Amino acid sequence: MSTQLLTYISVNDGKIKRSSLEVLSRCNQLAEKHGGTSAAIVISDSVSGIADELKQYGPSAIYTIEDPIFKNHLNTPLLRAMSKAVEEIQPSVVAFASTEGSKDILGALAANKKAAALPDMSEFELSDGGVKGKRPVMASKIISAVEATGSPVFISVRSGSYDVAENETNPEITSIPFSFSDDDLKITLREIISASSDRIDLNEAEAVVAAGRGVKDEEGRELISELASVLNAGIGASRALTEAGAYDPSLQIGQTGKVVSPQLYIGVGISGAIQHVAGMANSKVVVAINKDPDAPIFDIADYGLVGDLYKVLPPFIEELKKV
């Protein structure tokens, strides 16, 4: 029987998350290689524009579930909807981007279907009767080779693991009926406190500027903001600075923070402790700015700038503005 892959398309504020398109592109590749199909599912309070946009990323079919309940990103309705979708579509592999949202439901969904889950993969491939691949563990000190058999297998994939490939198709769009009443929801949503909406999502950012303890004051943080703004980059921080309250904890990169893999990562005043590196080691190009030439971050950097950030950043930013 041919493999049917199904990618869950994560949507925020009406925008498709790039990390989901990376997973869909990989599933398309595998479907082509193994002679299967690669469908996408959108679950949202408003799906039509998203389903149309998805056509340019090559799914063989698009499934949608639309209901106002999805506006608030609550787990219970999403879990119920995905469960229904899996029953209807009968995929052999269900793939998510590894996000806070998918972390919440992947295990529950797999348990609900008595199926295997492989979370947080950095590579995946179809195997005989299942999925195999690689998964960084213990702050990326170990890369484990993992495999799960059965159908379906639920997986999630780290952002930045694959490129997004455009490939215009004309797939059928199928709406899956779904109903959910407020009584089904066992919680009451009281308030949503949003992070600043002009902040670039670290998981989605093509470039990330990360600040470390070397960034000592408001002047330093201004320089970080300016550099990020010139590069249209997301801002991250080491734990030294999130613990000191200089940056929001949600911006922490590392073992106990976010895992990012942008095209460009610039670490400013960051030493490169293993716990920080665990969160950025998969970045495509790493630039380090540090006044200590022996800082460990230079061991993993593609480009290094040895100097006092307060002196080197202003001319660096000016040069970038000219590009």
Q: List the binding residues for FAD.
A: 213, 238-239, 252-256, 269-276, 290
Work out whether 224 is an interface residue with ligand FAD (CB under 6 A): no
- Of 255, 261, 282, 283, which lies in the binding site for ligand FAD, with binding defined by CB under 6 A? 255
Would you call the peptide bond into 152 cis, given omega within 30 degrees of 0 as the criterion?
A: yes
178 or 310: CB nearest ligand FAD: 310
Query: Any bridge partners for residue 127, and if so which?
Result: 130
- Of 101, 295, 298, 304, which lies in the binding site for ligand FAD, with binding defined by CB under 6 A? 295
Contact 167, 27 (CB under 8 A): no
List CB contacts of 131: < 8 A, sequence separation 6 or more: 93, 118, 124, 125, 147, 148, 153, 155
* CB contact burial 38-72 (16+ within 10 A = b; e otherwise): bbbbbbbeebeebbeebbebbbbbbbbbbbebbee
Distance of CA 75 to the CA centre of its chain: 18
Stretch that binds ligand FAD, among 113-121, 156-164, 182-190, 254-262 (CB under 6 A): 254-262
- Of 20, 98, 159, 252, which lies in the binding site for ligand FAD, with binding defined by CB under 6 A? 252
Work out whether 223 is an interface residue with ligand FAD (CB under 6 A): no
Work out whether 236 is an interface residue with ligand FAD (CB under 6 A): no
Work out whether 140 is an interface residue with ligand FAD (CB under 6 A): no
Query: Any bridge partners for residue 310, and if so which?
Result: none
Residue ranges in the chain assigned as alpha helix (H): 18-34, 48-54, 75-89, 100-112, 218-231, 239-243, 274-277, 297-300, 309-322
Binding mask 171-210 for ligand FAD (x = CB under 6 A): ----------------------------------------
Which segments are annotated as binding site? 213, 238-239, 252-256, 269-276, 290
Contact 146, 38 (CB under 8 A): no
Least Å from the CB of residue 241 to ligand FAD: 6
- Of 184, 222, 248, 292, which lies in the binding site for ligand FAD, with binding defined by CB under 6 A? 292
- Of 58, 119, 152, 212, which lies in the binding site for ligand FAD, with binding defined by CB under 6 A? 212
Count of residues interacting with ligand FAD (CB under 6 A)? 26
Task: Label residue 145 exposed, middle or buried (CB < 10 Å: 0-12, 13-18, 19+).
Answer: exposed
Binding residues among 45-104 for ligand FAD as defined by CB under 6 A: none
Chain contacts with ligand FAD (rule: CB under 6 A): 212-214, 238-240, 252-257, 269-271, 273, 275-276, 279, 290-292, 295, 308-310
